[in-house]
Amino acid sequence: MKSIVILISGRGSNMEALLAAGLPARIAAVIGNRPDAKGLATAAAQDVATAVVDHKAYGTRAEFETALAAEIDRHRPDLVVLAGFMRVLGDDFVRRYQGRMMNIHPSLLPAFPGLHTHRRALEAGVRIHGCTVHFVTPSLDNGPIIIQAAVPVRADDDEKSLAARVLAQEHVIYPQAVRWFVEGRLFLGADGRVLLDGAGIPEGALLVPAPEQSGATLRALAESG
């Protein structure tokens, strides 16, 4: 059975989704970079080993990452999962786990990499927003994409409401991506794109706004905005 180490910085809602997913893998440990990360208590309550590698205890990022790698490697994971881990990782650290480290980003990459994705999506006026699970590479938010989920942007959305709908989809697609990995179904093609063994090609398209909406409905949406 493959083993997983999860890295968190806060409450770890994606970590909770992974723990609840019944994955065919062993969650070897949850590691936080902050002693007050609430997700550590959640993991411990489910008898998952926890550890803290506090980034503030180290003088340089390199020293912190050396200590973090030592703690990760102690558990011999097949996969490292970043679940709200709020530290930018250096190139050497990323290369150490390349091809076996995943992250989830709250946008439809390559759109809106970095921070404040929901605000930027609203400011840009996009009709569809979402989230992306990808393999981590030295280029920030630019690794091979595994799975994405899209949600419509509503006329009355603010950052909070849009973020909540995206987060609900994060909790769906992250466990799915991890499940595919531990089942041995993910492969990198020669072009660097992720291939999924046994995946079908979905038909149709998601149109937002939906063309069947009446003129009266569209006017009501415009007036509410």
**Average pLDDT, integer, range 75-93:** 97
Looking at per-residue pLDDT, the higher value among 103 and 216 belongs to 103
Is 134 part of the annotated catalytic residue set?
no
Start and end residues for every CATH 3.40.50.170 domain found in the chain: 1-97, 105-225
Interval 163-217: pLDDT, tens: 999 999 999 999 999 999 999 999 999 999 999 998 777 788 878 877 755 555 5
**Average pLDDT, integer, range 46-57:** 98
**Do strands 101-105 and 79-82 pair parallel, antiparallel, or not at all (unpaired)?**
parallel
What was the pLDDT predicted at 204? 82
Residue 221 confidence class, pLDDT cut points 50, 70, 90: very low
Please give the share of the chain, as a percent, with pLDDT higher than 70: 94
CATH of 1-97, one of 3.30.230.10, 3.40.50.2300, 3.30.70.1230, 3.40.50.170: 3.40.50.170
Q: Which of 55, 75, 105, 134 is catalytic?
A: 105
CATH of domain 105-225: 3.40.50.170
What was the pLDDT predicted at 209? 78
What was the pLDDT predicted at 222? 52
Query: If DSSP states are collapsed to H, E and C, what string results for the chain?
Result: CCEEEEEECCCCHHHHHHHHCCCCCEEEEEEECCCCCHHHHHHHHCCCCEEECCHHHCCCHHHHHHHHHHHHHHCCCCEEEECCCCCCCCHHHHHHCCCCEEEEECCCCCCCCCCCHHHHHHHHCCCEEEEEEEECCCCCCCCCEEEEEEEECCCCCCHHHHHHHHHHHHHHHHHHHHHHHHCCCEEECCCCCEEECCCCCCCCCCCCCCCCCCHHHHHHHHHHC
User: Taking 70 as the threshold, does the pLDDT of residue 100 lie above it?
Assistant: yes
What was the pLDDT predicted at 218? 45
The alpha-carbon radius of gyration of the chain (Å, integer) is 19
Looking at per-residue pLDDT, the higher value among 80 and 199 belongs to 80
What was the pLDDT predicted at 109? 98
